[in-house]
């Protein structure tokens, strides 16, 4: 705090508003780097492996550059993410390409650029990879995405006999086994192991152990059936982060515990089933960038509906953060220009979009705010900017990185011209 103002990365939020305006996405660069190192260094305890930053959480050139500098990999889920990573100089070998329905064009671009791994989510896709790789005289390393029948939800995991998911091949209905047999017959596709991802915002470490055990049991079954043993295992991401009161506020040690629990389960499973210890990959997204980001807004209209609620309207909304609309996600707000005052009332933070459901949150505790005050919404680093839209033709706000008291623009805000850039007026409409 500085003069009662919220600070981040050594910068006073009121100064940031003066320099960049609002709405504004602000990222603490050092916090991102330290999380990347935490995952990287903890994985090194296991042995061979790689951390892929799950870039769908927050994708722009600067974040790929940071991941590159920290020596980790990146997971991408579309041609657009792949393009952004490559144009930031990200080494293709350290990219893992995901997607439940990769387009022929995306498959081609991935193989042409030389991505290190692709995660196969359908047999047709594997055959397409085979054709494209063969045409270029390449062999593409792939992992098979399997669904072990464990779904983790925050504080609990459920074991589902018949998983209902658009992702992966089900272990329980035999489709995963069938896929292994089909992939092993391909020549320009080299199956190196299995990928699984059991959910997001997971706080229960046992979930990671239960899933690993199931995947290794499947691997043992495949070893018996096809003499195929995985060289690699990709355990996905999903490590939870704090958003609001009631969420555990995990520290570095807790993330280490998540990983060590996973390492332990893999060690035990491999011993039990006589499998060699695979190279390990993890894909944290939210836990790398979530808490490093905040969004700054300026308070505009205030509307109190007696006996119902008080709306505080801000200059952003669902176009920069659609997560309340999508999942009723909880957030914490702070009055950044009077951060030393105690909260005195509960308000609903409303966006400026023409949509009643356009809220950032409800029942958020704040000091009594007035027009012009500066609001910071915390933990907006993941799945905010990456989910932004131009709804109501609002421009996507700029993104800055702050570090040691300095702010650097890494994504400039969209102008009206940017928003209308792809619009055309064909003959007859001019
Ligand atoms: C979304 C996703 C991740 C990252 O999940 P987080 O909850 O952000 O850590 C990792 N791997 C896969 C396959 C995903 O779909």
Mean pLDDT over 174-201 rounds to 97
- CA gap 368, 342 in Å, rounded: 9
Quick check: 159 pLDDT over 80?
no
pTM of the model: 0.97
Question: Does the Cβ of 200 fall within 6 Å of ligand 1?
Answer: yes
Ligand 1, pocket-test mutation among 99, 198, 236, most atoms within 8 A of CB: 236
Active site residues: 354
Ligand 1 centre and the CA of 131: distance in Å?
A: 28
List pLDDT tens digits, range 365-383: 999 999 999 999 999 999 9
**CB of 61 within 8 A of CB of 88?**
yes
Q: Which atom of ligand 1 is nearest to the CA of 284?
A: 9
Question: Does the Cβ of 286 fall within 6 Å of ligand 1?
Answer: yes
| pLDDT value of residue 102 | 97
Q: Which atom of ligand 1 is nearest to the CA of 57?
A: 8
Q: What percent of the chain clears pLDDT 90, i.e. is strictly above it?
A: 94
Place 162 in a pLDDT band, splitting at 50, 70 and 90.
Answer: low
Ligand 1 centre and the CA of 257: distance in Å?
A: 18
Instruction: For the chain, give every residue range classified as CATH 3.20.20.10.
Output: 47-288
Question: Does the Cβ of 287 fall within 6 Å of ligand 1?
Answer: yes
- CA gap 215, 220 in Å, rounded: 9
Place 155 in a pLDDT band, splitting at 50, 70 and 90.
Answer: confident
Question: Does the Cβ of 284 fall within 6 Å of ligand 1?
Answer: yes
Ligand 1 centre and the CA of 33: distance in Å?
A: 18
For residue 45, the number of C-alpha atoms closer than 13 Å in the C-beta half-sphere is 15
CATH 3.20.20.10 fits 47-288, yes or no: yes
Helix, strand, or coil (residue 139): coil
- CA gap 337, 376 in Å, rounded: 9
Mean pLDDT over 278-306 rounds to 98
Mean pLDDT over 167-190 rounds to 96
Quick check: 416 pLDDT over 70?
yes
Ligand 1 centre and the CA of 227: distance in Å?
A: 30
Question: Does the Cβ of 197 fall within 6 Å of ligand 1?
Answer: yes
Quick check: 228 pLDDT over 70?
yes
Place 153 in a pLDDT band, splitting at 50, 70 and 90.
Answer: confident
Place 161 in a pLDDT band, splitting at 50, 70 and 90.
Answer: low
Ligand 1 centre and the CA of 114: distance in Å?
A: 22
List pLDDT tens digits, range 57-77: 999 999 999 999 999 999 999
Protein residue closest via CA to atom 15 of ligand 1: 197
The first and second tokens of residue 283, run together, are 């894909």
Protein residue closest via CA to atom 3 of ligand 1: 237
- CA gap 244, 358 in Å, rounded: 19
Quick check: 275 pLDDT over 90?
yes
Question: Does the Cβ of 236 fall within 6 Å of ligand 1?
Answer: yes
Neighbour count for residue 123 (Cβ, 10 Å)? 16
Instruction: For the chain, give every residue range classified as CATH 2.40.37.10.
Output: 7-26+292-420
Average pLDDT over the chain reads: 96
CATH of 7-26+292-420, one of 3.30.750.24, 1.10.510.10, 2.40.37.10, 2.60.40.10: 2.40.37.10
């Amino acid at each position: 705090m500085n003069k009662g103002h919220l600070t981040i990365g050594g910068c006073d939020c009121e100064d940031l508003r003066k320099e960049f305006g609002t709405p504004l996405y602000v990222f603490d660069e050092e916090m991102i780097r330290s999380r990347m190192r935490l995952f990287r260094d903890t994985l090194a305890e296991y042995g061979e492996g790689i951390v892929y930053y799950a870039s769908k959480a927050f994708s722009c050139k600067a974040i790929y550059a940071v991941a590159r500098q920290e020596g980790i990999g990146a997971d991408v889920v579309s041609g657009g993410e792949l393009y952004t990573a490559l144009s930031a100089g990200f080494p293709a070998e350290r990219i893992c390409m995901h997607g439940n329905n990769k387009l022929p064009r995306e498959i081609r671009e991935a193989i042409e650029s030389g991505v290190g791994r692709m995660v196969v989510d359908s047999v047709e896709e594997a055959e397409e990879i085979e054709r494209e790789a063969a045409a270029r005289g390449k062999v593409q390393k792939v992992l098979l995405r399997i669904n072990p029948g464990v779904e983790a939800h925050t504080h609990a995991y459920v074991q589902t006999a018949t998983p209902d998911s658009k992702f992966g091949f089900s272990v329980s209905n035999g489709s995963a086994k069938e896929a292994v047999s089909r992939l092993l017959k391909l020549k320009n596709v080299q199956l190196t192991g299995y990928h699984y991802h059991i959910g997001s915002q997971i706080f229960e470490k046992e979930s990671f152990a239960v899933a690993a055990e199931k995947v290794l049991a499947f691997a043992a079954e495949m070893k018996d059936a096809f003499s195929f043993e995985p060289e690699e295992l990709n355990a996905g991401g999903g490590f939870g982060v704090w958003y609001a009161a009631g969420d555990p506020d995990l520290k570095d040690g807790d993330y280490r515990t998540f990983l060590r629990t996973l390492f332990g389960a893999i060690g035990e499973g491999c011993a039990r089933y006589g499998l060699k210890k695979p190279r390990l990959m993890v894909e944290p997204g939210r836990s790398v960038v979530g808490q490093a980001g905040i969004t700054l807004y300026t308070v505009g209209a205030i509307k109190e509906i007696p006996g119902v609620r008080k709306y505080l309207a801000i200059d952003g909304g669902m176009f920069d953060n659609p997560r309340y609309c999508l999942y009723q996600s909880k957030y914490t707000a702070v009055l950044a220009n009077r951060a030393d005052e105690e909260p005195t009332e509960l308000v609903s933070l409303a966006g400026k979009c023409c949509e009643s459901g356009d809220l950032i949150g409800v029942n958020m505790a704040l000091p009594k705010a007035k027009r012009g005050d500066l609001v910071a919404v915390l933990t907006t680093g993941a799945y905010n900017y990456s989910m932004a839209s131009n709804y109501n033709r609002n421009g996507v706000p700029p993104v800055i990185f702050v570090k040691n008291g300095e702010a650097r623009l890494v994504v400039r805000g969209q102008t009206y011209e940017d928003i209308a850039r792809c619009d055309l007026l064909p003959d007859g409409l001019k």
